[in-house]
C-alpha cells in the first residue's frame, strides 16, 4: 500500500512538475511578450535548433534537445533579460552579437551531443582493453605459478 | 679305532678360489686348501689359521646358502672347549673370492679324518673312548641351552693326535638332524624330511648317542641290512633298539645304558645326567622294557606287511598315490577294527576322514585325507603331505630347503594352509607340547603363517612366512649383492652399496626383500608395495617407504647412506613433482638435492613431509584453477559483448552529453552575461 502510494506520489510529482514548468514557461512568454514582441520572436527563432533537435530525436529521447536547448537557453535568457533590463531598446533580432552567442551555444550543444558518445565509446574501449590485458597477465602468472594444469591442460612430458 | 685319511697340512693350493679370506680380523681362511673330511651338503670346509698363533690348525666350515645354518646354536657353543667335542671358536660372514659373502664357522681342526665304522669296538672302548667324553661335552652343550643333533659315527673325530677318545664333530652348519641317517633320529622325527626334523630336545642327542654306540658295537650302521621302509616298520613295531640288534648281541655291561638311551618313549629315556650317573657307577632309573603289541594278521601295503596302526600310517604316507584307494576301501577299516593293536585307531581314523578344511581346493582333497589319516594313525609322527614330512618345530628349515623346488614348495604351502601342523600338535601328548601358554603362542603363530601363505599381497606369501619363522635366515634377495644379510642393519648397508653401484636407480624390491623387511622391521604394507612397484604407489605409500628408511637409518646409529639417500631422493622427487605450486616444488626439489649428498634420509623426509603442505597445495590449486576459469569466462564475455558494450557506451554518452550541456549552460549563461555586458 505504501509502495503503491509512493508510486502514485512520484507520478503526481512528475505531473505537477511538468505543470509547474508549463506555467512558468507561459509566465515567461507573457512577460517577454509584454516587454517586446520582437524579443519573443528572437527567443522563438533562437530555439528553432532545439525544436529541430527535438523533432529529429526518437520518441522518448531528449538528450539532443536538452544538450542544444540548455546551452541555447543559457544564452537567450541572459540576452533577453539583459535587453529588457535596459528598457527594451535593444534590437536583438538585428544583433549579430546576439545571434553569434545563440549560434555558438546551439553549435556547442550539437557538438557535445555528437562527440560525447564517441568519447564514451573510446574510453570504454580503453578500459576494456586494459581489463583484458590485466586478466591475461593474471592468467599467465597463474600458469607460471601452478603449471598448465591450472588451465586444464596436461603437464608437458619429461 | 679307524679314521678316514687326514688331510695333509702342507697341501699345496689347489685350483679353485684363490685369495685370502679373514674372519674377525683374526682367522685367515684358505679357499685354496679344502678340508674334505668336513664337507657336506651346503657346506664347504677349508683350512684356516689364527693369525696370532699360526701354528695352530683350524678348519673353516663355509655355508654356501643352500641350507639354513644354526646361528643361535653357534652363539651358544662358541668358546666351548671340551675333550668330547671339536671347539667352535668363531663365526661370521666373510667376503669370498667369488664376490659374495658366506657364513664361516671356525673349528679347531681334528687331528684325523672322520671316524670310520669298520671293526666292532669293545664295550670299554665305547664307554671310555666315546660315551664318557661325549656325555661330558653334551652336559655343557645342553647346559648352554643347545642341542647337538648331529651325533652319528661319521661325525666323530680325533681331537688331538694320539688321543684315545672321540670328539663330537660340528653340528651348526646345517639344520638340526639334517645329515642324520634316520636310524640315528628318534622315531617321532625319523620319518621327517632331513630339513624338517625340528630342533629337538637333549633327549634326541641321548638317543643318537645310544644308537651310535650300537653302531660301534656292531661295526656297521644299525639296520643297514634293511631298506628304509622295512627298517622304519621294524622300529615302529618292535622298538628302535630291538629292530636293529638282538638282545644277545648287546654285552651285559652296556644293555641297561643302551636300552635306556634308545627307548622310543622320550619320557623314559635317559638324560645326560642319568648317563653320567651310570658312567660314574651310579644306578639311574632304567627305561621300561616291553614288547610292543602287534597285529596277528598283517595288512599289506606298498609291498610291505604292517602290523600296527603307526606302521600303517607310515606306509600310507610313503605311498601317497596308493593311499586314497586304501582309505576308501573296506579292507583297511576292517583290519583296523579286527586286528590293529591300537584299539582306538579305527575310531580316530573315521573321525579324521570326516574332517576337511573349508578352503580345500579340489585337487588337494585326497592328499588332505591321507594327511589326516596318517596323523590319526601315528599322532606322534611328523606331518606328512604330498610326499613332504615335517615335524611342526622343523617347519622353518624345511621352508628354506623347499624354496627352490616348486613341488615341495607347493606341498609345504598346503601343510601350512590346511592347518596340518596345529592339528599334529593338538593330537600329541600334552607333556610334549609344554605349557599351555606355549601352546597358545604356537597356535597364534601357525594361524598367522596360514594367513600369510595364502595372501595375494606381494609382500606376504611364502617368503613372509619364511622370514618370520626363521629369525636368523639371511635375506635371499639378489638385491643384497651376495652379502650375508641377517639383520636389517646389514640389509641397509647392503642396499646402500647396491644403490651406490648405480645399476639400480630406484628401489624395486622383490618379494624376498619386502618380506624380509616386513618380518624384521614393522613396516606398513603399502610402504613395502611402493618399494616393490614405485610407479603404482600413491604419495602416502611412497612417503611411508621413505619414512621406513629414515627410521631404519636412525635405529642403527644414523650412518650416512648416500646410495639409499639417492633412492629416497628419487622417490621424494616423484612426490615433489606432484606439487602443483611451482615455486614450492622447486624449493622442495632444491632441498632434496642438497640433502642427498649428506646421506641423511631423515633430511630428505623432512624436506618432503611438511605438515599441511599437500593440503595447502591442493587447496591453493583448486582456488587458482577456479580463478583461472573465471578469468577465462570474463575474457570471453568481454570479447563477445563488444558491440553491446559500445552501444551502451554510446547511449551513456548521449546521456552524459545532456548532463554536460546542462552543466555547461551555467557557464554559457555567465559568459553571455559577461561578454554581452562588456560590449
Q: Per residue in B66-95, pLDDT tens?
A: 889 999 999 999 999 888 999 999 999 999
Cβ of residue A80 closer than 8 Å to a chain B Cβ: no
Cell representation of residue A145: 605459478
| B662-676 mean pLDDT | 87
Cβ of residue A79 closer than 8 Å to a chain B Cβ: yes
Cβ of residue A56 closer than 8 Å to a chain B Cβ: no
pLDDT of residue B433: 52
Domains within chain B, CATH numbers bracketed: 2-108 (3.30.200.20), 478-609 (no CATH)
Cβ of residue A129 closer than 8 Å to a chain B Cβ: no
Q: Which residues of A touch B628 (CB under 8 A)?
A: 139, 142-143, 150-151
Q: Which residues of B touch A96 (CB under 8 A)?
A: none
Q: CA neighbours within 13 Å on the CB side: how many for B376? A: 23
Average pLDDT of chain B is: 88
Best of A132, A136, A150, A158 to disrupt the B interface (most B CBs within 10 Å) is A150
Confidence check: pLDDT of B184 > 90: yes
Cβ atoms of B236 and B187 within 8 Å: the answer is yes
pLDDT of residue B538: 86
Which residue, chain included where needed, has cell 508549463? A22
Complex ipTM: 0.80
Q: Which residues of B touch A158 (CB under 8 A)?
A: none
pLDDT of residue B535: 81
Cβ atoms of B84 and B137 within 8 Å: the answer is yes
Q: Which residues of B touch A118 (CB under 8 A)?
A: 653
Which residue, chain included where needed, has cell 512538475? A17
Residue of B nearest to A133 (CA): B635
Q: Which residues of A touch B624 (CB under 8 A)?
A: 142, 145-146, 150
Q: Per residue in B335-381, pLDDT tens?
A: 998 888 888 888 889 888 887 777 777 778 889 999 999 999 999 99
CA nearest to B185, candidates B172, B164, B203: B203
Burial class (CB in 10 A: 0-12, 13-18, 19+), B42: buried
pLDDT of residue A92: 81
Cβ of residue A31 closer than 8 Å to a chain B Cβ: no
**Residues contacting B612, CB < 8 A, separation 6+:** none
CA nearest to B275, candidates B287, B288, B291, B289: B287
- Dihedral sign of CA atoms B653, B659, B661, B664 in order: negative
Q: Which residue in A74, A131, A132 is closest to B672 by CB distance?
A: A74
Q: Which helix (H) or strand (E) holds B464?
A: helix B461-469
CA distance B625 to B138: 78
Q: Per residue in A61-93, pLDDT tens?
A: 888 999 999 999 999 988 888 888 887 677 888
Cell representation of residue B577: 613433482
For chain B, how are helix, strand and coil distributed in percent, rounded to 5? 55, 10, 35
Cβ atoms of B560 and B599 within 8 Å: the answer is yes
Q: Per residue in B223-269, pLDDT tens?
A: 999 999 999 999 999 999 999 999 888 999 999 999 999 999 999 99
Residue of A nearest to B626 (CA): A150
CA distance B585 to B573: 9
CB atoms B650 and A121 under 8 Å: yes
Cβ of residue A85 closer than 8 Å to a chain B Cβ: no
Burial class (CB in 10 A: 0-12, 13-18, 19+), B157: buried
Residue of B nearest to A158 (CA): B577
CA nearest to B314, candidates B422, B234, B241, B207: B234
CB atoms B669 and A74 under 8 Å: yes
Q: CA separation (Å) from B379 to B190, B239, B317, B449?
A: 14, 16, 13, 22
CB atoms B654 and A117 under 8 Å: yes
Cβ of residue A111 closer than 8 Å to a chain B Cβ: no
Q: Which helix (H) or strand (E) holds B61?
A: strand B57-63
Q: CA neighbours within 13 Å on the CB side: how many for A146? A: 24
DSSP track, B349-411? HHHHHH---TT--GGGHHHHHHHHHHHHH-TTS-EEETTEEE-GGGHHHHHHHTTT-HHHHHH
Q: B63: which strand partners?
A: B43, B103
Cβ of residue A150 closer than 8 Å to a chain B Cβ: yes
Q: Which helix (H) or strand (E) holds B305?
A: strand B304-306
CA distance B288 to B309: 22
Cell representation of residue A154: 596436461
Min CA distance, A25 vs chain B (Å)?
18
CB atoms A135 and B625 under 8 Å: no
Q: Which residues of B touch A77 (CB under 8 A)?
A: 669
Q: B101: which strand partners?
A: B95
Cβ neighbours around B293 below 10 Å, total: 12
Confidence check: pLDDT of B425 > 70: yes
A·B CB contacts under 8 A: 145
CB atoms B646 and A64 under 8 Å: no
Cβ of residue A127 closer than 8 Å to a chain B Cβ: no
Edge-to-edge strand ranges of the sheet holding B57-63: B21-23, B27-34, B43-50, B57-63, B101-108, B88-95
Residue of B nearest to A65 (CA): B658
Cβ of residue A120 closer than 8 Å to a chain B Cβ: yes
Higher pLDDT, B291 or B545: B545
CB atoms A64 and B638 under 8 Å: no
Q: Which residue in A74, A124, A125 is closest to B668 by CB distance?
A: A74
Q: Which residue in B631, B653, B679 is closest to A116 by CB distance?
A: B653
The residues spanned by each domain of chain A are 1-35, 36-119
Q: Which residues of A touch B653 (CB under 8 A)?
A: 116-121
Tens of each residue's pLDDT in chain A, 158 residues: 666 655 557 778 878 888 888 888 888 888 777 777 888 888 899 999 999 998 888 888 888 999 999 999 999 988 888 888 887 677 888 888 889 989 999 999 999 999 999 999 999 999 999 999 999 999 999 999 999 999 988 876 54
Q: CA separation (Å) from B410 to B358, B406, B454, B524?
A: 19, 6, 11, 27
pLDDT of residue B437: 46
Amino acid at each position: 500500500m505504501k509502495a503503491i502510494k509512493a508510486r502514485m506520489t512520484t507520478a503526481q510529482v512528475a505531473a505537477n512538475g511538468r505543470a509547474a514548468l508549463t506555467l512558468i514557461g507561459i509566465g515567461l512568454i507573457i512577460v517577454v511578450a509584454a516587454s517586446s514582441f520582437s524579443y519573443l520572436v528572437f527567443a522563438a527563432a533562437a530555439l528553432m535548433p532545439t525544436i529541430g533537435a527535438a523533432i529529429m530525436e526518437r520518441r522518448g529521447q531528449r538528450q539532443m534537445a536538452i544538450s542544444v536547448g540548455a546551452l541555447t537557453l543559457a544564452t537567450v535568457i541572459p540576452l533577453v533579460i539583459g535587453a529588457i533590463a535596459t528598457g527594451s531598446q535593444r534590437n536583438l533580432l538585428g544583433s549579430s552579437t546576439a545571434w553569434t552567442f545563440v549560434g555558438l551555444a546551439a553549435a556547442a550543444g550539437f557538438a557535445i551531443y555528437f562527440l560525447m558518445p564517441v568519447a564514451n565509446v573510446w574510453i570504454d574501449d580503453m578500459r576494456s582493453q586494459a581489463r583484458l590485458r590485466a586478466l591475461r597477465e593474471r592468467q599467465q602468472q597463474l600458469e607460471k605459478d601452478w603449471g598448465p594444469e591450472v588451465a586444464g591442460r596436461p603437464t608437458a612430458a619429461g | 679305532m679307524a679314521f678316514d685319511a687326514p688331510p695333509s697340512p702342507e697341501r699345496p693350493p689347489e685350483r679353485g678360489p684363490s685369495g685370502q679370506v679373514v674372519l674377525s680380523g683374526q682367522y685367515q681362511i684358505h679357499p685354496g686348501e679344502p678340508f674334505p673330511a668336513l664337507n657336506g651338503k651346503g657346506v664347504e670346509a677349508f683350512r684356516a689359521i689364527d693369525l696370532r698363533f699360526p701354528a695352530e690348525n683350524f678348519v673353516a666350515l663355509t655355508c654356501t646358502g643352500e641350507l639354513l645354518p644354526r646361528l643361535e646354536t653357534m652363539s651358544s657353543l662358541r668358546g666351548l672347549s671340551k675333550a668330547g667335542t671339536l671347539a667352535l671358536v668363531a663365526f661370521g660372514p666373510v667376503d669370498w673370492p667369488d664376490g659374495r659373502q658366506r657364513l664361516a664357522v671356525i673349528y679347531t681342526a681334528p687331528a684325523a679324518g672322520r671316524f670310520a665304522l669298520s671293526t666292532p669296538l669293545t664295550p670299554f672302548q665305547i664307554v671310555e673312548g666315546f660315551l664318557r667324553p661325549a656325555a661330558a661335552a653334551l652336559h655343557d652343550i645342553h647346559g648352554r641351552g643347545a642341542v647337538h643333533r648331529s651325533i652319528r659315527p661319521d661325525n666323530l673325530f680325533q681331537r688331538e693326535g694320539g688321543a684315545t677318545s672321540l670328539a663330537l664333530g660340528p653340528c651348526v652348519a646345517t639344520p638340526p638332524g639334517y645329515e642324520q641317517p634316520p636310524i640315528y633320529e628318534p622315531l617321532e622325527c625319523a620319518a621327517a624330511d632331513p630339513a624338517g626334523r625340528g630342533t629337538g630336545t637333549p633327549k634326541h642327542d641321548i638317543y643318537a648317542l645310544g644308537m651310535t654306540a650300537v653302531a660301534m658295537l656292531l661295526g656297521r650302521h644299525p639296520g643297514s641290512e634293511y631298506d628304509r621302509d622295512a627298517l622304519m616298520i621294524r622300529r615302529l613295531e618292535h622298538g628302535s633298539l630291538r629292530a636293529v640288534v638282538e638282545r644277545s648281541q648287546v654285552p651285559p655291561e652296556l644293555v641297561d645304558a643302551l636300552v635306556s638311551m634308545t627307548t622310543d618313549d622320550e619320557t623314559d629315556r635317559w638324560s645326560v645326567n642319568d648317563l653320567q650317573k651310570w658312567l660314574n657307577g651310579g644306578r639311574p632309573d632304567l627305561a621300561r622294557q616291553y614288547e610292543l603289541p602287534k597285529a596277528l594278521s598283517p595288512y599289506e601295503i606298498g609291498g610291505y606287511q604292517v602290523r600296527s596302526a603307526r606302521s600303517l600310517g607310515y606306509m600310507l604316507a610313503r605311498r601317497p598315490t596308493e593311499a586314497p584307494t586304501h582309505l576308501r576301501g573296506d579292507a583297511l577299516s576292517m583290519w583296523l577294527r579286527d586286528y590293529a593293536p591300537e584299539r582306538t585307531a579305527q575310531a580316530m581314523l573315521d573321525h579324521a576322514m570326516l574332517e576337511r578344511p573349508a578352503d580345500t581346493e579340489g585337487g588337494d582333497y585326497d592328499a588332505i585325507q591321507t594327511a589326516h589319516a596318517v596323523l590319526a594313525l601315528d599322532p606322534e609322527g611328523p606331518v606328512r603331505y604330498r610326499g613332504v614330512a615335517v615335524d611342526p618345530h622343523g617347519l622353518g628349515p624345511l621352508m628354506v630347503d623347499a624354496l627352490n623346488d616348486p613341488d615341495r614348495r607347493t606341498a609345504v604351502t598346503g601343510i601350512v594352509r590346511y592347518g596340518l601342523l596345529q592339528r599334529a600338535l593338538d593330537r600329541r601328548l600334552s607333556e610334549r607340547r609344554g605349557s599351555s601358554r606355549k601352546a597358545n603362542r604356537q597356535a597364534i603363530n601357525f594361524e598367522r603363517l596360514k594367513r600369510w601363505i595364502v595372501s595375494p599381497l606381494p609382500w606376504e606369501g611364502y617368503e613372509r612366512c619364511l622370514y618370520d619363522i626363521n629369525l636368523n635366515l639371511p635375506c635371499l634377495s639378489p638385491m643384497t649383492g651376495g652379502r650375508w644379510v641377517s639383520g636389517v642393519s646389514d640389509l641397509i648397508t647392503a642396499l646402500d652399496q647396491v644403490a651406490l653401484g648405480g645399476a639400480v636407480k630406484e628401489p624395486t624390491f622383490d618379494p624376498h626383500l619386502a618380506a624380509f623387511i616386513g618380518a624384521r622391521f614393522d613396516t606398513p604394507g603399502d610402504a613395502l608395495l611402493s618399494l616393490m612397484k614405485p610407479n603404482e604407489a600413491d604419495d602416502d605409500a611412497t612417503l611411508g617407504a621413505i619414512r621406513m628408511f629414515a627410521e631404519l637409518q636412525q635405529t642403527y646409529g644414523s650412518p650416512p647412506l648416500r646410495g639409499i639417500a639417492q633412492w629416497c631422493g628419487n622417490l621424494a622427487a616423484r612426490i615433489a613433482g606432484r606439487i602443483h605450486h611451482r615455486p614450492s616444488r622447486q624449493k622442495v626439489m632444491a632441498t632434496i638435492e642438497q640433502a642427498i649428498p649428506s646421506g641423511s634420509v631423515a633430511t630428505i623426509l623432512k624436506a618432503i613431509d611438511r605438515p599441511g603442505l599437500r593440503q595447502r597445495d591442493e587447496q591453493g590449486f583448486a582456488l587458482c584453477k577456479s580463478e583461472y576459469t573465471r578469468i577465462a569466462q570474463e575474457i570471453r564475455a568481454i570479447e563477445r559483448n563488444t558491440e553491446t558494450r559500445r552501444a551502451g557506451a554510446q547511449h551513456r554518452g548521449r546521456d552524459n552529453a545532456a548532463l554536460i550541456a546542462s552543466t555547461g549552460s551555467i557557464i554559457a549563461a555567465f559568459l553571455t552575461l559577461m561578454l554581452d555586458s562588456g560590449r
